[in-house]
Every structure is written in structure tokens, then in C-alpha cells.
Amino acid sequence: MDASNGSQDTEQTLDSQVKAFFDSAPPLQNRNDITQKLNHFIQLNSLSSENGIGKRIVCVTSGGTTAPLEQRCVRYVDNFSSGHRGATSTEYFLKAGYAVIFLYRRGSFQPFCRSLPDDPLLECFEATEGLNIQGLWFLLHPLLMLQIISKPMKDIGPRAMFYLAAAVSDFYVPWKDMVEHKIQSGSHILDVKLVPVPKMLSVLRKDWAPLAFCISFKLETDSNILLNKARGALEKYNMHAVVANELSTRKEQVVVVTIDDKITVQRDKSKADDDVENPLIKLLSQRHSAYIEDSKRMR
Ligand code: 9Z3
């Protein structure tokens, strides 16, 4: 088999894996409403200008994802993510002049009310002129919503940024393999087969929004492998930067890995209320501006 056939095969496999994954998600009832809301939000914020060009718009994903074990779900595999990173980053993106699409897990932290659990603040806003945040929540996994969001984001080219801080689960049980009813307890060993979630970062970069500036995160508990894994993700998924963080120190420091840099970013410890997201978003905002300028020159 020659190399081009090999990569075609890989693409086909990924396409069919993506299709299988979406087929196994419950259908979105309000897809048209969401699309309308997003188009309106992006249009409004493209008219309001920053130095003569439309505002930069970032989609921030936030919170952890779940993988149900039963069709009539009683139990699911969860993860620890609180949504603190996404909520805090959103506050700093707004300060930096961005309009933000905040895609969060329901019940996780929201911007400006990080200490209040399950606060429906974002649900109080209707898109009007001057409003620069649009909240949308996801139920199990953000990928379907991400695909919907990427459609209008594609149209604004390099002004769009994706900041993928949600802790996405790497495995799921396909709908067709799931038992319908609650798994019964008993003395037997519970044997559940979870299959890998297709890596949609490459689909996002290649097809969904190829000109958008894309930042993903890499989380590890073993600091010895963290930077190599981040570098691997940067290359494999063709990200513009990967933010590497270690579980226990994630609120103190992160390392921004790009193709030619590894920049350690730390919270200012002399200020009790400083967040690591403060210098992080400043750095990413600068890099994004440089990317927009470069894209103009290449046109
Ligand atoms: C992160 O690494 C986030 O920084 C945290 C934030 C989840 C650690 P909290 O929500 O925690 O503030 O409590 N997010 C992404 C982790 C992830 O799932 N990355 C994927 C991977 O490693 C790629 S998108 O494969």
C-alpha cells in the first residue's frame, strides 16, 4: 500500500469513527435555536470593531465530560474537572477585548461567580449589542456543540480562537453496545468495553475551522511525561499551542508549548488573588494578534 493510500485510509477511518460517535449521542433538540443564537452573536461582535477589524472571538470549552454506561442512564464515568480553568480564562479573555462563546458543562463553574455552584448567570443574558459573552452548555460531551459552533466561526477566519480547556473523556460506550436498562448488581464482575473517542482536534483543524487559532490542553499527573506528551499533541493535531498542566500544580503554573518555544507561565504569588490565567491569556492574546497579522500578509 502506498503512503497516500495509507493516509486516505486513516482519514476514512477517522470520518467513520466521528460519524459513529455522533450517531451514539442523543440528538440535540434545539440545534436550530443554537445556530441562530450563534450566528447573531458572531454577527454582532463582528460589527463592533477592534482597530478597524471585527472583534476577536474565542470559544472556550470548560468542565469535564461524562461517558454513560446505560442507555437509560443511571451510571456514568466522570472526571474531576470543575470548570475553574475555563471560567477564569473567560474573565481574562473578556478583559483582553474578546467576545467569548463559553461552552460549559452544566453545573460547573461559570465566569464572575466562581464561588457559586450551579449558577445560571449566563442564562439570564439575551444577545444584544454590546454583549460580549454567549453561554451554551453541553450535556455529556462538548464535541457535537463544538461542531455546531465551528460553522459560523469558520467564516471569521483567523479572528476565531478555540481554547479547549474542557477535560474530554478519552473513552465511551457506543450506543449500540450499551445495555438499555440499569446494570443489575450481583456477584459477577462488571465487564464494560469502552472504545476510544475519535480525536476530533484534527478534524477541527482540518475541516471545521482551518484558519482558527487553536489552543488545546494536556493534563498529566506524571510531570516526567507532560512536556513530551504536549509536544506530541501539538504536532499530531497541528495545534498553534498546547498548554501543559500537571494536576497538583495546575492553578499555580502551566507551560505553553509551541512549535519553537516552551514558556513557563506562573501566577503572581505576591498577589493573593492573582490567577495563572491572567498571564496565560495575555500571552495567548499576543500570539493570536501576531497570527492574525501574519495571515493578512499571506493573503
Ligand atoms: C485541562 O488540562 C484543564 O486545565 C483542567 C482544568 C481540566 C486541568 P479545572 O476544570 O481543571 O479547573 O478543575 N484540560 C484539558 C484536558 C484534556 O482532556 N486534554 C485532552 C488530552 O489530554 C486534549 S483536549 O488528550
The predicted-structure confidence for 182-228, as pLDDT tens digits, reads as follows: 999 887 888 889 999 888 899 999 999 999 999 999 999 999 999 99
The predicted-structure confidence for 270-279, as pLDDT tens digits, reads as follows: 998 899 999 9
Question: In whole numbers, what is the pLDDT of the chain averaged over residues?
Answer: 89
Find the 61 Cα to ligand 1 centroid distance in Å.
10
Find the 166 Cα to ligand 1 centroid distance in Å.
5
Find the 85 Cα to ligand 1 centroid distance in Å.
8
DSSP 8-state assignment for residue 141: -
The predicted-structure confidence for 252-263, as pLDDT tens digits, reads as follows: 999 999 999 999
Query: Taken in order 21, 133, 279, 251, is the CA torsion positive or negative?
Result: negative
Atom number in ligand 1 closest to CA 85: 12
> Taking Cα atoms as reference points, which of 95, 205, 106, 195 lies closest to residue 146?
205
Find the 180 Cα to ligand 1 centroid distance in Å.
31
41 and 101 in contact (C-beta within 8 Å)? yes
Taking each helix axis from N to C end, the angle separating 143-154 and 3-23, rounded to the nearest 10 degrees, works out to 120
Residue 148 CB neighbours (<10 A):
18
Find the 217 Cα to ligand 1 centroid distance in Å.
6
Q: Which residues does a 6 A CB cutoff place in the pocket of ligand 1? A: 81-85, 164-165, 167-168, 216-219, 245, 250
Residue nearest to atom 22 of ligand 1 (CA): 218
Q: Best substitution site from 66, 85, 251 to test ligand 1's pocket, by max atoms within 8 Å of Cβ?
A: 85
pTM metric for this prediction: 0.91
- Overall number of domains in the chain: 1
Q: Residue-wise over 100-129: b if at least 16 C-beta within 10 A, else e? A: bbbbbbeebbbbeebeeeebeebeeeebee
Residue 151 CB neighbours (<10 A):
14
Q: Best substitution site from 81, 138, 200, 202 to test ligand 1's pocket, by max atoms within 8 Å of Cβ?
A: 81
Atom number in ligand 1 closest to CA 80: 13
Please give the residue range of the domain that contains residue 104. 3-297
CATH number, domain at 245? 3.40.50.10300
The yes-or-no verdict on residue 5 having pLDDT over 60 is: no
Atom number in ligand 1 closest to CA 220: 22
